[in-house]
């Protein structure tokens, strides 16, 4: 709040002198000890916080590089950020293009609280992850000034990077049918995510059209975590009629589900087959190893960066939609032949 001028005034020196002292160049500039102390004391008293925008603007050496904000929801999905950042880091290391990364946490469905999206005073472009329906509605109705890329969200007005989540769900239904299953189940995370929603619809609709029985009681929802998967699976196991295959829409939940099945003495894949979604690193080492849908998070993160930089550089108006493919990783929990 307090500017260097106020410090200078309180210390009865000029702004220039105050600047030297505050930056530790007091001795170098041969400012007297007493003056230095006065300045420091004044700074402390007024709670001086250097304005880095001003510093940066002034300092000559500092190159202007694009500032990219990653807008991520503050909820259980924070766990997913590390794979995304891995992709960003990879990009960072391999690209000669420099950029700065800012993490902007936001509460799901409260994207409108982020003033900086409107003012454009904090970043040159934003990658928005986990936007809910409300968030999207806000974006579509408020002509944002800053370039934006939506991660795992469809939109006609904004650039997007995503996979076909409907198809991903659909392919799991196909797989279940081809493996001769008649009655299947599903475990769904309770989060407001379009990707999860579409994944679910793809699975449900395709099950229906293929004649796979997906009983209401075999659709279970739980929190987006290992714990949630564990609880959901236990709940499912309490049903009268058990499915012979379950699609768990998140690997984290699948990890918990496997444990619940193991504890209940249900053998995977002999009694029930399990398919997860994401291909998180640990799924290769669950017991049994988990068959899952690979989500190319790292590549998508890279694409998000590419897209946002492109948008920033050629203030290109027409949105770019980048779509990635998902694919099965067959392991022991379903369909592996090793």
User: Could you say which residues in the range 274-313 bind its own copies, by CB under 8 A?
Assistant: 281-282, 284-287, 289, 312-313
SS3 at position 255: helix
Contact between 279 and DNA (CB under 7 A)?
no
Residue 64's Cβ-count burial label (10 Å; 0-12, 13-18, 19+) is exposed
Contact between 19 and its own copies (CB under 8 A)?
no
Segment near DNA (CB under 7 A), from 19-27, 101-109, 266-274, 329-337? Answer: 19-27
Contact between 74 and its own copies (CB under 8 A)?
yes
Tokens 């603007």 appear where? 57
Q: Residue 206 touches which of DNA, its own copies, none (CB < 5 to 8 A by kind)?
A: none
Of the pair 14, 53, the CB lying nearest its own copies is at 53
104-127 b/e with 16+ CB inside 10 Å = b?
Answer: bebebbebbebeebeeeebbbbbb
- What part of residues 173-192 is at the interface with its own copies (CB under 8 A)? none
Pairing type for strands 291-294 and 327-329 reads antiparallel
Query: Could you tell me the smallest distance in angstroms from the CB atom of residue 38 to DNA?
Result: 9
The span from the CA of 278 to the CA of 53, in Å, is: 40
- What part of residues 210-229 is at the interface with its own copies (CB under 8 A)? 225-227, 229
Contact between 124 and DNA (CB under 7 A)?
no
Query: Could you tell me the smallest distance in angstroms from the CB atom of residue 114 to its own copies?
Result: 12
Query: Quick one: CA torsion of 72, 78, 82, 88, rounded to 10 degrees?
Result: 0
Count, residues in the chain: 338
SS3 at position 249: coil
Contact between 325 and its own copies (CB under 8 A)?
no
Query: Could you tell me the smallest distance in angstroms from the CB atom of residue 15 to DNA?
Result: 4
Distances (CA, A) of 281 to 49, 56, 82, 239, 268: 42, 40, 11, 31, 20
Q: Residue 35 touches which of its own copies, DNA, none (CB < 5 to 8 A by kind)?
A: DNA
Contact between 4 and DNA (CB under 7 A)?
yes
The span from the CA of 309 to the CA of 286, in Å, is: 38
Segment near DNA (CB under 7 A), from 25-33, 67-75, 188-196, 318-326? Answer: 25-33
- Phi, psi (deg, nearest 5) at residue 324: -110, 160
Contact between 140 and its own copies (CB under 8 A)?
no
Contact between 95 and its own copies (CB under 8 A)?
no
Q: Which two tokens mark 60?
A: 């000559």
Segment near its own copies (CB under 8 A), from 9-17, 47-55, 158-166, 170-178? Answer: 47-55
Q: What share of the chain is helix, strand, coil (3-state, %, to 5)?
A: 45, 20, 35
Provide DSSP, 212-236: -B--GGGEEEE-SSHHHHHHHHHHH
Q: Residue 333 touches which of DNA, its own copies, none (CB < 5 to 8 A by kind)?
A: none
Of the pair 7, 198, the CB lying nearest its own copies is at 7
- What part of residues 54-83 is at the interface with DNA (CB under 7 A)? 54-55, 57-60
Q: Which two tokens mark 294?
A: 């690979």
Q: Residue 223 touches which of its own copies, DNA, none (CB < 5 to 8 A by kind)?
A: none
Residues in contact with DNA by CB under 7 A are 3-5, 12-17, 19-20, 22-23, 25, 29-32, 34-35, 48, 50-51, 54-55, 57-60
């Amino acid at each position: 709040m307090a500017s260097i001028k106020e410090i200078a005034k309180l210390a009865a020196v000029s702004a220039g002198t105050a600047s030297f002292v505050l930056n530790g160049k007091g001795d170098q500039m041969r400012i007297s000890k007493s003056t230095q102390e006065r300045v420091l004391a004044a700074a402390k008293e007024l709670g001086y916080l250097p304005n880095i925008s001003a510093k940066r603007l002034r300092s000559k050496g500092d190159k202007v590089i694009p500032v990219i904000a990653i807008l991520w929801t503050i909820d259980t999905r924070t766990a997913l950020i590390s794979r995304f950042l891995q992709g960003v880091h990879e990009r960072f290391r391999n690209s000669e293009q420099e950029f700065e990364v800012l993490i902007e946490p936001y509460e799901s469905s409260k994207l409108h609280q982020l003033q900086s999206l409107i003012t454009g005073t904090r970043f040159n472009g934003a990658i928005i992850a986990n936007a809910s329906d409300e968030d999207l509605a806000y974006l579509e109705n408020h002509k944002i000034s800053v370039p934006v890329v939506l991660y795992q969200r469809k939109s006609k007005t904004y650039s997007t990077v995503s996979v076909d989540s409907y198809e991903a769900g659909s392919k799991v239904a196909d797989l279940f049918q081809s493996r001769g299953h008649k009655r299947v189940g599903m475990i769904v995370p309770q989060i407001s995510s379009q990707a999860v929603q579409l994944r679910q619809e793809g699975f449900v609709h395709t099950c229906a059209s293929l004649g796979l029985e997906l009983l209401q009681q075999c659709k279970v929802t739980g929190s987006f975590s290992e714990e949630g998967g564990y609880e959901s699976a236990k709940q499912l196991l309490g049903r009268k009629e058990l499915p012979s295959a379950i699609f768990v829409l998140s690997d984290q939940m699948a990890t918990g589900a496997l444990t619940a099945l193991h504890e209940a003495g249900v053998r995977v894949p002999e009694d029930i087959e399990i398919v997860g979604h994401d291909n998180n690193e640990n799924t290769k080492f669950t017991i049994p190893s988990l068959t899952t849908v690979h989500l190319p998070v790292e590549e998508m993160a890279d694409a998000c960066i590419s897209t946002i930089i492109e948008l920033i550089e050629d203030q290109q108006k027409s949105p770019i939609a980048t779509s990635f493919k998902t694919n099965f990783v067959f392991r022991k929990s379903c369909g592996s032949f090793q």
